[in-house]
Amino acid sequence: MDKDERLLKIVLRYREELQRKIKERQYEMQHDNNDHYLIYNALGFTSKEGYQIDFQQNVGRFLYKYAGSLLEELAIKCIKEAHPDAKEKVKLPNTIDKSPKTVEIDCLVGKHAYEIKWKDATTDGDHIKKEHKRVKIIKDAGYVPIRIMFFEPNRDQAIKIQSKLKKLYENIGGEYYSGEDAWRYLKKETGIDLKRLFEKLKE
C-alpha cells in the first residue's frame, strides 16, 4: 500500500463514520419534539421546511467537525511519513498561569511544534490572547511554533483576527502558513501533495 492509498483509506473511514452519524441523527429526529416549529411557522416557514433546516443544521455541525478532524489527521500522517520520529498531541505544562494546566502541540518534529487547522473563522478577540499565551509557552519551552491553516476565512473580522495571529507568530519567532501557502508548505516539508489527493477525489 503506497502513501496515497494509506491516506485515501483514512478519508474513506471518515466518510463512512460521518454518513453513519448522519443516519443515526436522522433516526433520532423522527422522535423529536417539534413544538418549536410553531415559531418557524410564524416566521414564514412550513413545518416540513423547519425539519429540513434542523436536519441540515445537524449535518453541517457534523460535517464541519469531521472535515477538521480529517484534515488534521491527514496532515499529521503526511508529516510522520517524512519524519517517522514525529510525536502527536504533545502536552506542555502552562508556565505562565494556571489556566489551562497544559497546552497541546498537534505534531512535534524536533524543535518544530505544529498547530494544524483546517480553517479558523473565529471573530472572538479573546482568541488572540489565548493563542498568544499558548505560542509563548511553546516558544519558552524551546520550540518553534508553526501554524498551518489550509483554508482562510471569508468575513472581514475573522480575516483581521488571522492577520493578527500571523503577526503574533512571526514576532515571537514562529511561522504561519495559510491557504495555498499551507498546502505548499506541507508538500515542501513532506513531499506529499495532499491537496492533489483531495482534487483527485473530486474528479
Regions of the chain with pLDDT less than 70: 1, 203
pTM for the whole structure: 0.92
For 35, phi then psi, to 5°, come to: -60, -25
Q: What is the pLDDT of residue 203?
A: 62
Range(s) of the domain holding residue 186: 3-202
User: Which pLDDT value is given to residue 72?
Assistant: 97
Task: Please state the domain count of the chain.
Answer: 1
- The rounded distance, in Å, linking the Cα atoms of 121 and 165 is 12
Q: Supply 88's cell numbers.
A: 502527536
How are beta strands 144-151 and 175-178 bridged, if at all? parallel
Read off the pLDDT of residues 59-85 as tens digits, 9 standing for 90 and up. Answer: 999 999 999 999 999 999 999 999 999
As a whole number of angstroms, the distance between CA 28 and CA 24 comes to: 6
Residue 172 is predicted with a pLDDT of: 95
Give the residue from 128, 133, 124 showing the smallest Cα distance to 98. 133
Q: Find cell 413544538 and name the residue.
A: 35
Tell me what pLDDT residue 120 has. 86
Per-residue model confidence (pLDDT) at position 118: 96
